[in-house]
């Protein structure tokens, strides 16, 4: 039996579809030509007919029932609701036609069910089975996505065709259900089979009508340096939404949200998660109607969007992911983590350890020489660091040299005064020290003071006749223009093909204003935002096709473009420009709702911190950053021998435990938002090993007793728990567990476990009674617990 037969059951006589994997079910039905959702939630057994779920309740609204005997359209839980047909809630599709009408009537015409999962042309998307990445034949910025349909039983895909007879438009709704995860991927492909062009003004990737509104909605909000803070409120009548109009997913609102039943927490309760595999403008909203039903929609933001679709052309929406959990928010997060690692990121990097790096930015900013870089690299090598990253300031020549943020962007040639041997020369010298070499780019931007701008001022996004806003003395290149993408690709390729560059930090520090595309006519101006991000994706694909071993870290003025779309190309993203350890507790905690530890760029930086002025111990900074992709941003030449030795111990510790930190299941134990305490842990898939980060943010005088309760362990197993006040491999530690740390064998330790001491506790005790952490330190203190199962003789 094929996967689609196992995961997608079809009753052809009744035209009903049941997608299920024993974790989640989605049941679709065709009711008088309209595709409706009868049920989405916890898995239910198959039955021949779910028609009893069609809502026949009476509502006084517009209807065509008198003429056609239809159900009242507003009472149906539609999968593809249209504008102007009697359903007065938000539509999933709006099409402007040549006569000015926006009315369409999409009705069912057929379906296909296949094993595996088709790729989306020109867009990132999840995959199933064997990954066929961008190296497999990318032809150019407008060429097809290289990944092809994967025929594999890891997923099955149902494609349902709906057609509007008057315009000849066909909407193909694609549903992929994964065999092992309670996740359904949803996208829409719109094809113009008519004789006239139309304009697509709105096309939601996902529409889900739920029968009630008894949910809380958690959005992830913030700004630069304080990204992705959870904000939760009950659903209420009307519309509540998060969106972006900045040309990027942005730091202010994240293209992800959680709808949870009241009372749901980390360990119990029902919840849905929505995530957009897209990096541009988005709209995510929940609309509650007068009858307490909820409509969820996620897609490209329709504001400023208008896509001209000629006869014979198609438009593909980005992919939206719908996750489900019957066991709380923690389980929902771990589901999305596995989707990212096993079905989104390039497996070349997804579960492979990344090099521990040092970035020179906070050590030197723009003020550096080759000698200074090499001095930093030698000290980093002594500490065990594996990769040296040269950040901003290495490029531009003469009057356009990048010595500050006023010049040089767009001129991707080495500054000979700073790098006499060019990029190849400094890379060779760094390699000779024993480190890999990485390089910073900001491919999408240009300074007015640059050779590129002087040669091609028309390559900047700007509105004719109007002054352009400027930020950081830079402008946005028009990546909707293939000539621009070609040029930037050629410049980056010239460097990467002649220098041994193992890593690229891809930055993006400015949002799009004065939106106008001088290469296209008036009827195409609504396409720029989307064409721009397609150009970004095309450049990613072309670079990775040419350099398949290249590790790219995404960055956008910190975490301003931290989304599933970028993760398809960059397996790690700089989580925030705020490197303060206390602030990072909140930022990484919120980010973990959808993204795994290994996706979060996290570095130990200088103190006092450059963003907050706060001073924290090196031990605290390391204990926070290790729950991410680990690295350093500091001037090692200013540290004493004791601090350099501690960094060496941190590097050794992280290198040893990185597989557990990155491949383990993440459990959030204490939220940091009360500014008092925080805790989290990762547990190996076999539940034999765990590592816990336990943090004091602000101390409390005469504090009450406190215990941190662990999760994810085997109840009846015995575990040795070793307490550490800093990242340091305990004496006698062996590769397969703690062997020689001091222990209280009889288990008589009372109160917090002393530094360097081990105790033996059962999994049940650790999860239900917990570890006493009342007095583990003052302000800005951390304690690490290594938890290792003891095999009985």
On the question of pLDDT at 749 being above 90, the answer is no
Task: Check 161, 391, 517, 577 and give the catalytic one.
Answer: 577
Query: Would you call 755 a catalytic residue per the annotation?
Result: no
Question: Which CATH number applies to 668-790: 3.40.50.720, 2.60.40.1180, 3.90.25.10, 3.40.50.740?
Answer: 2.60.40.1180
Give the pLDDT band (50/70/90) at residue 792: low
Residue 133 pLDDT: 60
Give the pLDDT band (50/70/90) at residue 756: very high
DSSP code of residue 83: T
Give the pLDDT band (50/70/90) at residue 75: confident
Q: Does domain 3-343 have CATH number 2.70.98.60?
A: yes
Residue 673 pLDDT: 93
DSSP string, 696-761: ESS--TTPPP-EEPP-SS-TTSEEEEEEESSS-PPTT-BTTB--SSEE-TTT---SSPPTTEEEEE
Residues of CATH 2.60.40.1180 domain(s) within the chain?
A: 668-790
Residues of CATH 3.20.20.70 domain(s) within the chain?
A: 357-663
326 backbone dihedrals φ, ψ, rounded to 5°? -100, 5
Residue 688 pLDDT: 97
Once rounded to an integer, what is the mean pLDDT over residues 736-764?
A: 72
Strands 169-178 and 314-316, by their bridges, are unpaired
Q: To the nearest whole number, what is the mean pLDDT of the chain?
A: 92
Strands 572-574 and 314-316, by their bridges, are unpaired
| Alpha helix positions (H), 559-640 | 564-567, 581-591, 618-625
Strands 294-300 and 198-210, by their bridges, are antiparallel
Distance from C-alpha of 517 to C-alpha of 531, rounded to nearest angstrom: 10
Residues of CATH 2.70.98.60 domain(s) within the chain?
A: 3-343
On the question of pLDDT at 132 being above 60, the answer is no
Once rounded to an integer, what is the mean pLDDT over residues 298-318?
A: 98
On the question of pLDDT at 60 being above 50, the answer is no
Give the pLDDT band (50/70/90) at residue 700: confident
On the question of pLDDT at 445 being above 70, the answer is yes
Q: Which residues pair with 210 in a beta bridge?
A: 294
Give the pLDDT band (50/70/90) at residue 142: very low
Once rounded to an integer, what is the mean pLDDT over residues 711-738?
A: 82
pLDDT in tens, 565-621: 999 999 999 999 999 999 999 999 999 999 999 999 999 999 999 999 999 999 999
Residue 139 pLDDT: 36
CATH number given to 357-663 = 3.20.20.70
On the question of pLDDT at 98 being above 90, the answer is yes
- Measured over the CA atoms of residue 198, residue 203, residue 207 and residue 212, the dihedral's sign is negative
pLDDT in tens, 87-96: 889 999 999 9
Distance from C-alpha of 179 to C-alpha of 22, rounded to nearest angstrom: 9
pLDDT in tens, 349-373: 999 999 999 999 999 999 999 999 9
Lookup: tokens for 421:
């041997």
Query: Would you call 507 a catalytic residue per the annotation?
Result: yes
Task: Check 29, 209, 507, 517 and give the catalytic one.
Answer: 507
For tokens 């139309």, what's the residue?
198
Once rounded to an integer, what is the mean pLDDT over residues 497-522?
A: 97
């Amino acid at each position: 039996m094929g996967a689609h037969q196992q995961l997608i059951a079809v009753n052809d006589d009744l035209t009903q579809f049941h997608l299920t994997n024993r974790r989640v079910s989605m049941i679709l039905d065709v009711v008088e030509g309209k595709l409706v959702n009868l049920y989405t939630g916890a898995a239910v057994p198959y039955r021949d007919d779910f028609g009893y779920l069609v809502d026949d309740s009476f509502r006084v609204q517009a209807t065509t029932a008198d003429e056609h005997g239809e159900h009242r359209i507003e009472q149906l839980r539609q999968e593809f609701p249209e504008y102007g047909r009697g359903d007065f809630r938000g539509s999933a599709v709006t099409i402007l036609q040549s006569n000015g009408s926006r009315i369409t009537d999409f009705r069912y015409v057929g379906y296909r069910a296949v094993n595996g999962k088709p790729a989306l042309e020109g867009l990132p998307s999840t995959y199933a089975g064997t990954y066929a990445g961008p190296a497999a034949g990318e032809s150019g910025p407008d060429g097809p996505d290289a990944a092809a349909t994967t025929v594999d039983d890891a997923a099955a895909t149902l494609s349902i065709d709906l057609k509007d007879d008057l315009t000849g438009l066909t909407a193909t709704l694609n549903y992929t259900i994964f065999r092992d995860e309670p996740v359904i991927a949803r996208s829409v492909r719109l094809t113009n089979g008519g004789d006239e062009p139309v304009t697509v003004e709105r096309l939601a990737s996902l529409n889900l009508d739920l029968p009630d509104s008894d949910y809380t909605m958690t959005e992830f909000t913030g700004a630069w340096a304080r990204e992705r803070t959870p904000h939760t409120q009950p659903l209420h009548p009307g519309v509540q939404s998060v969106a972006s109009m900045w040309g990027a997913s942005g730091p202010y609102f994240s293209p992800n949200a959680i709808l949870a039943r009241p009372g749901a927490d980390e360990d119990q309760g029902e919840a849905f998660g929505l995530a957009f595999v897209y990096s541009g403008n988005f709209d995510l909203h929940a609309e509650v109607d007068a009858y307490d039903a909820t409509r969820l929609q996620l897609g490209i933001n329709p504001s400023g969007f208008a896509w001209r679709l000629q006869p014979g052309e198609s438009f593909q929406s980005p992919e939206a992911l719908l996750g489900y959990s019957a066991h709380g928010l923690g389980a929902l997060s771990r589901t999305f983590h596995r989707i990212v690692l096993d079905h989104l990121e390039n497996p070349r990097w997804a579960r492979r350890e990344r090099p521990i790096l040092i970035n020179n930015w906070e050590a030197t900013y723009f003020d550096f020489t080759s000698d200074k870089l090499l001095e930093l690299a030698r000290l980093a090598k002594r500490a065990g660091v594996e990769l040296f990253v040269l950040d901003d300031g290495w490029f531009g020549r003469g009057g356009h040299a990048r010595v500050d943020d006023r010049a040089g962007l767009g001129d991707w040639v080495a500054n000979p005064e700073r790098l006499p041997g060019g990029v190849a020369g400094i890379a060779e010298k760094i390699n000779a020290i024993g480190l890999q070499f990485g390089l910073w780019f900001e491919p999408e931007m240009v300074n007015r003071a640059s050779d590129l701008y002087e040669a091609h001022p028309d390559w900047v996004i700007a509105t004719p006749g109007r002054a352009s806003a400027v930020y950081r003395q830079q402008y946005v290149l028009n990546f909707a223009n293939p000539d621009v993408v070609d040029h930037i690709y050629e410049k980056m390729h010239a460097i990467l093909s002649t220098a041994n560059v193992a890593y690229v930090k891809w930055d993006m520090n400015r949002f799009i204003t004065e939106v106008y595309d001088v290469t296209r006519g008036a009827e195409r101006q609504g396409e720029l935002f989307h064409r721009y991000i397609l150009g970004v994706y095309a450049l990613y694909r072309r670079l990775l096709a040419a350099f398949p071993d290249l590790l790219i870290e995404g960055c956008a003025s910190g975490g301003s473009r931290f989304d599933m779309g970028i993760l398809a190309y960059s397996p790690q993203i700089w989580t925030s420009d705020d490197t303060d350890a206390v602030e990072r507790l909140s930022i990484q905690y919120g980010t973990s709702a959808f993204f795994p530890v290994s996706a979060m760029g996290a570095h130990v930086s200088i103190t006092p911190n450059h963003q907050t002025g706060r001073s924290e111990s090196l031990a605290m900074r390391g204990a926070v950053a290790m729950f991410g992709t680990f690295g350093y941003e500091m001037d090692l030449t200013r540290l004493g021998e004791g601090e350099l030795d501690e960094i060496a111990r941190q590097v050794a510790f992280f290198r040893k435990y990185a597989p557990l930190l990155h491949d383990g299941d993440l459990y959030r134990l204490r939220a940091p938002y009360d500014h008092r305490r925080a805790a989290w842990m990762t547990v190996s898939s076999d539940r034999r090993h765990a590592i816990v980060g336990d943090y004091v943010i602000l101390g409390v005088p005469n504090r009450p007793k406190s215990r941190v309760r662990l999760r994810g362990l085997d109840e009846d197993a015995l575990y040795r728990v070793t307490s550490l006040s800093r990242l340091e491999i305990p004496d006698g530690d062996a590769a397969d567990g703690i062997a020689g740390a001091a222990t209280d064998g009889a288990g008589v330790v009372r109160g917090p476990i002393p530094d360097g001491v081990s105790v033996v506790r059962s999994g049940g005790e650790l999860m239900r009674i917990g570890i006493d952490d009342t007095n583990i330190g003052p302000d800005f203190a951390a304690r690490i617990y290594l938890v290792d199962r003891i095999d009985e003789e």
